[in-house]
Structure 1
Amino acid sequence: MTNETGTYLYAVAADLGIPVPTGLTGVNGGAVRGIAQGGLIAYVSTVPMDKFGEGPLRTSLENLDWLGRTARAHHHVVDAVAETGPAAPVRLVTVYSGDEQVKDLLDRRGEEFLDVLTRVAGRREWGVKAYAEARKPVEEPAGARHGGESPGTAYLKRRQASLQGQEQDRRRAAAVAEEIHDALTAFAVAGRRHRTQDPQLSGRRETMLLNGAYLVDEERGEEFARVVDGLRGPGVELELTGPWVPYSFTMLEDPAGGEGTADERL
């Protein structure tokens, strides 16, 4: 068993001399602290490498209970940090060999972090999901005749017509979802489409057509919600969530090559 430890990174912010929130704990119950370097501060905690090293993480990331607990602890820290000012969260489970490696990150990518923090200052993220409304089956009137057709043939024809109708509905709904995304992106500072979620993950039977994130000025949040309401219509159901810390607009490409990363938000 090893006693080695690593440094878990949550987020980076401008160093404004604001102390780390008292009593803030992160993943694995570790106390959150700050590492200042080059006008920036990285919010981190110490983690045991026998749990957060590359090998153990491969196993842990397949455990949904562990992943859920870790994600909630991670986002709790990020939310607390964001209350004090603009913050750039990093990917879930980004672990470094030690504090010096984090300082090196701040030196190497300081300008990128500052650009991100400038972009999200005074702005929040809103999420909009669009679902295709379920097609109601058309019931054949009682006593309807099938002419010379057998009941089996008539059923297959009805089934084929129903599937064709569902495909047409899906295409129309997808086109509407694309229009919704374009309209919301035009209103927001920026918009981004994430991969749509499987029904098992979304918890809904309807097909997800849009999983969008939108960066909106804080003072325009209510206006954005009204824009979403104005886009509601038949065939597509909209779900609005937020406001959130702008995760979708702060992630740097390849944020630093930590021991392990997972791009999940639970």
Structure 2
Amino acid sequence: MTECSTGTSETNATYVFAVCHTEGNPDVDGLAGVSRDGPVRCLRTGSLTAIVQTVRGADFTDEAWQTRLTDEAELERYARAHHEVVSSVAARFPTVPLPLATLYNGDERAALALAHESTRFRRALTRIAHHAEWGIKVYAPLSRSAGDDSAGERTAVPADGTGPAPGAGRAYLERKRNLQSRRERRQVDSLRLADAVDADVSRLATESRRLRPHGDGARDDHRVQVLNATYLVEGDRAAELDLLVAGLRERTGAHIEVSGPWVPYSFVGEV
């Protein structure tokens, strides 16, 4: 689902947080949402329920939103408010979160648009029911031998400084070749480590997605990220995941970070 125009800035708009599948309307009392202009409420569309809020169109014009995107603190406030509503509902019902600032020109337009995509919503809700998203990041030590770089750049010079020692050029090239070979071996080992962890966790998960590893961290962080992945895991298998990760840490010696459980944003498809 893409962001929709709110029309004129003088009108109100319907902000949609998520779509869920419930027997009745979920209790959303007390949720602040992204605006003080109206309460967070439910909007029925067929057998689905949209979690919505009435907001002022003037607060969500293209110009207003572009300004908000340049204000990191303000953008974070909106993102947190959006996520609070989504996570509160998702804790009780299968829920498809919608992107930040999904708006329609009123409830009727919102209901029509959501009903048009009802098949995709039902498919996503079936896929993520009773599941949570878990993130796993794997780091390998840089394990650079002391003096690797400097040794590769120096040539042997006699004590009197008159010129390179005999065979210095050959020794220099050999050091460079050895350094390159070590780097290549580390790269291969890192790829094998990432694949091994991903394969084991994927066997436990229902679905998985590998993301681009983050770049180097702080200068004093002597690690390199070799796996950045997210997994859709059944709710009753969380303890199994903990045991699996503990075993992988022991077996591989890698630093493995686990985050979650999260609302399965990564597994609801393009909605």
Q: Same fold (TM over 0.5)?
A: yes
Match of 1:138?
Answer: 146
Q: CA deviation at 1:4?
A: 2.6
SS of residue in 2 equivalent to 1:197: coil
Is 1:16 the equivalent of 2:34?
no
Q: Which residue of 1 is the match for residue 207 of structure 2?
A: 190
**Residue type at the aligned position of 1:22:** D
C-alpha distance 163-90 of structure 1, shift in aligned 2 (>3 A): farther
Distance 1:102 1:200 in 2: 43
1:103 matched to 2:121: no
Cα distance per residue 1:167-203 (max 9 Å; x no partner) = 43133212311221122112111111223334569x9
Indicate the residue corresponding to 1:248 in structure 2. 266
**Aligned-residue RMSD, C-alpha:** 3.1
Deviation, 1:13, is 0.5
Q: How far apart in 2 are the matches of 1:198 and 1:52?
A: 34
SS of 1:44 mapped into structure 2: strand
- In 1, the alpha carbon distance for the partners of 2:105 and 2:184 equals 52
Kindly indicate whether the alpha-carbon contact (under 8 Å) linking 2:21 and 2:49 is maintained by their aligned counterparts in 1: yes
Quick one: distance in 1 between partners of 2:217 and 2:14?
Answer: 34
Shift of 1:80: 0.6
Counterparts of 1:222 and 1:125 in 2: how far apart (Å)?
Answer: 14
| Aligned-residue offset at 1:128 | 0.5
Residue 172 of structure 1 is aligned with which of 189, 192, 198? 189
- In structure 1, list runs of 5 or more residues that go unmatched: 256-266
**Structure 2 residue ranges without an equivalent (≥5):** 1-7, 149-154, 159-163
Between the aligned partners of 2:223 and 2:72, the Cα distance in structure 1 is: 23
* Alpha-carbon displacement from aligned partner over 1:110-134 (angstroms, at most 9, x marks no partner): 1211111111111111111112322
Residues 38 and 106 in structure 1, CA contact (< 8 A), matched pair in contact too: no
In the TM superposition, residue 155 of structure 1 has moved relative to its aligned partner by: 9.1
Higher relative contact order (CA 8 A, sep 6+): 1
Is the 8 Å Cα contact of residues 173 and 235 (structure 1) preserved in structure 2?
A: no
Is this contact kept in 2: 1:128–1:238, CA < 8 A? yes
Q: Does 1:212 align with 2:220?
A: no
2:43 paired with 1:26: no
Which of 63, 80, 86 does residue 72 from structure 1 map onto? 80
Are 2:254 and 1:236 equivalent residues in the alignment? yes
- Counterpart code for 1:5: N
For the residues of structure 2 that align with 1:109 and 1:88, how far apart are their CA atoms?
12
Per the alignment, residue 259 of structure 1 pairs with: none
Q: Which amino acid aligns with 2:244?
A: V
Partner Cα distance (2:144, 2:43) in 1:
57
Higher Rg of the two aligned structures: 2
Which whole-Å CA distance do the structure 1 matches of 2:187 and 2:108 have between them? Answer: 52
Aligned residue identity for 1:54: D
Using the size of structure 1 for normalisation, the TM-score is 0.79
2:25 is matched by which residue type in structure 1? I
* Partner AA of 2:33 in structure 1: G
Give the letter for the 1:207 counterpart. V
User: Partners in 2 of 1:204 and 1:105 — Cα distance?
Assistant: 48
Q: Aligned pair in 2 of structure 1 residues 220, 234: CA closer, same or farther (>3 Å)?
A: closer
Count how many residue pairs are aligned between Structure 1 and Structure 2. Answer: 247
Q: Determine if contact 1:9/1:95 at 8 Å carries over to the other structure.
A: yes
State whether residues 133 and 235 of structure 1, in contact with CA within 8 Å, keep that contact through their aligned partners in structure 2: no
Distance 1:157 1:47 in 2: 69
Q: 1:262 matched to which residue of 2?
A: none
Q: Deviations over 1:239-264 (max 9, x none)?
A: 011111211112x32x3xxxxxxxxx
User: Match of 1:24, as an amino acid?
Assistant: L
Deviation at 1:2, TM superposition (A): 3.8
